[in-house]
A and B are shown apart, each in its own frame.
Chain A
Amino acid sequence: DAGVTQSPTHLIKTRGQHVTLRCSPISGHKSVSWYQQVLGQGPQFIFQYYEKEERGRGNFPDRFSARQFPNYSSELNVNALLLGDSALYLCASSYGTLRTNEKLFFGSGTQLSVL
Chain B
Amino acid sequence: GENVEQHPSTLSVQEGDSAVIKCTYSDSASNYFPWYKQELGKGPQLIIDIRSNVGEKKDQRIAVTLNKTAKHFSLHITETQPEDSAVYFCAAKDGANSKLTFGKGITLSVRP
Residues of A with Cβ closer than 8 Å to B?
Answer: 4, 33, 40-45, 48, 50, 55-56, 58, 90, 97-99, 101, 103-109
Contact = CB atoms under 8 A, between A and B. Distances in A.
A40 B104 contact: yes
Contacts, number: 62
B36 A106 contact: yes
Interface in B71-95: 89, 91, 93, 95
A104 B34 contact: yes
A56 B32 contact: no
B94 to A, nearest CB: 10
B89 A43 contact: yes
Contacts of A97: 98
B55 interface: no
A104 B46 CA distance: 8
B90 to A, nearest CB: 9
A56 B95 contact: no
A7 B41 CA distance: 14
